[in-house]
């Protein structure tokens, strides 16, 4: 949050371009995480966990590295700080949405074999 406050002027001038890129990149990362977990055959709770692990990176660490070792690197700190703020919004929204839709129990989805049901 400190990076946003101290660099507010560049963010205000470039925010119109940075924000849509952050949203698109985050949506793509979340979709890649979810799709990869499904292709890997993970069960629904693991798919959700993998989605968050892939889609939401450690923005705080990125910000510390950029500010501490690269002097902000020409606006990269603004992008990283923006990611941190946006991840709170997108991750919170996805978590809230999924919390109202519990994952299906894979054991309950197993349909008994016809031969087993006759016996």
CA–CA distance, 24 with 32 (Å, rounded to integer): 12
Instruction: Let me know if residue 112 belongs to a domain.
Output: no
Overall domain count for the chain: 1
Residue-number span of the structural domain to which 53 is assigned: 2-102
Instruction: Let me know if residue 108 belongs to a domain.
Output: no
pLDDT score of 23: 85
Instruction: Let me know if residue 111 belongs to a domain.
Output: no
Averaged over 90-111, what is the pLDDT? 78
Instruction: Let me know if residue 85 belongs to a domain.
Output: yes
The yes-or-no verdict on residue 36 having pLDDT over 90 is yes
Tokens of 101: 């839709």
Helix residue ranges, H only, 70-113: 76-99
Tokens of 32: 């890649």
Instruction: Let me know if residue 8 belongs to a domain.
Output: yes
pLDDT score of 71: 67
What average pLDDT does the chain have? 76
Residues 6+ apart with CB under 8 A from 98: 48
pLDDT score of 112: 59
């Amino acid at each position: 949050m400190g990076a946003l406050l101290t660099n507010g002027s560049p963010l205000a001038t470039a925010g119109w371009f940075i924000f849509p890129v952050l949203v698109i990149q985050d949506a793509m990362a979340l979709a890649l995480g979810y799709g990869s977990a499904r292709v890997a055959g993970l069960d629904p709770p693991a798919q959700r966990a993998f989605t968050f692990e892939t889609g939401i990176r450690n923005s705080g660490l990125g910000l510390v590295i950029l500010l501490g070792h690269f002097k902000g690197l020409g606006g990269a700190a603004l992008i990283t700080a923006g990611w941190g703020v946006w991840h709170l919004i997108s991750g919170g929204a996805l978590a809230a949405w999924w919390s109202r839709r519990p994952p299906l129990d894979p054991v309950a989805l197993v349909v008994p074999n016809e031969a087993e049901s006759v016996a």
